[in-house]
Structure 1
């Protein structure tokens, strides 16, 4: 069992580190997605560089490179307890710090959904998605929404009474999200314009 989780963790890191967005954009248009948008080698910039089909394909592949190795280990090979921790975090670390990109990988959102699918089936990514969507609806900028969204997701995990290894996965996942978005998080979170306008109108109406 020890050799099994170690091999799967290594394979998960390698799979997670494959920059599908970069590869697809080069194959489809001969462009580098890191020259678009915020320079992130992820699915959003693949969409900007090559269109929706390329962006969606990149997003699905980023999701699968988290879901497949973790799901295989957890549900099919029965790896659980603390042995599942390195298997779950390996794809995340591979994606965030890809050796194929000089250890400057993507922001690890799509692969996070994949990892939690591998750990909790579709219940996990659904809870994470609802949590992220709640903050996205109110905050401008994806970085604060991404980071704060992991707070309610922790509440969900605690209410579900998951064991310590999954809480450790959450902690490292949150740390990776923070690190990959740290530049955008240097300023305070800001409400979306429609909420700011509504607030000003309400204050004006009271006056």
Structure 2
């Protein structure tokens, strides 16, 4: 019974669209009218600036980290249940019932899931990889997938745990689905990096 309760709570926690609520309550704006139309923190940044986006990212991370971390560190059900509970907040964000299933891309919530499971270790690896790939490539979908690939390699080498592996696969599939529109576009290297390469080559 506890597993069903935690699964429902984790999903509902992830479903709360903090970025959209902050935009409407504090900025009196519908952030879905900005950028790519998603109700996520990136469009809150576009609508109101970096401070509001940072607050939304923090809340989106915490709404996943708190339930996942609590269950993982203090309850630890069987692997299938723990994997389902771990992924539930990201699914809630991506397919929020409060938004009729049209949620965001769940990047901050995925960071929250890994925070709940590994504290700061996996989020640091994922964040460093994402920052590096964003400097190289323009297509955000590929950046996310490449970064999660780096995280997967790290987990396989240093934390070969079945639970972490299953959660990684499920979150990777979710990311690919939510960014599927990006994969129809070519993988482009940033123009600034091309210019830097040209200058170095001419030295």
- CA RMSD, aligned part only? 1.7
* 2:157 is equivalent to residue 159 of structure 1: yes
Report what 2:106 is aligned to: 108
Decide which moves more: 153-162 or 76-85: 76-85
Separation in 2, partners of 1:9, 1:162: 25
Structure-1 residue corresponding to 2:65: 67
SS in 2 for 1:183: helix
- SS where residue 38 of structure 1 aligns? coil
Q: Which runs of 5+ in 1 are unaligned?
A: none
Q: Which residue of 2 aligns with 1:128?
A: 126
Q: Aligned equivalents of 2:103 and 2:188: distance in 1?
A: 26
Tell me by how many angstroms 1:167 deviates. Answer: 0.9
- TM-score calculated relative to the size of structure 2: 0.93
Counterpart selection for 1:84 from 82, 85, 106: 82
Give aligned pairs, total: 203
1:8 alignment partner in structure 2: 6
Distance 1:47 1:202 in 2: 34
CA deviation digits over 1:164-193, x for unaligned, max 9? 222111111011111111112211211111
Indicate the residue corresponding to 1:30 in structure 2.
28
**How far apart in 1 are the matches of 2:127 and 2:46?**
22
- Which residue matches 1:147? 145
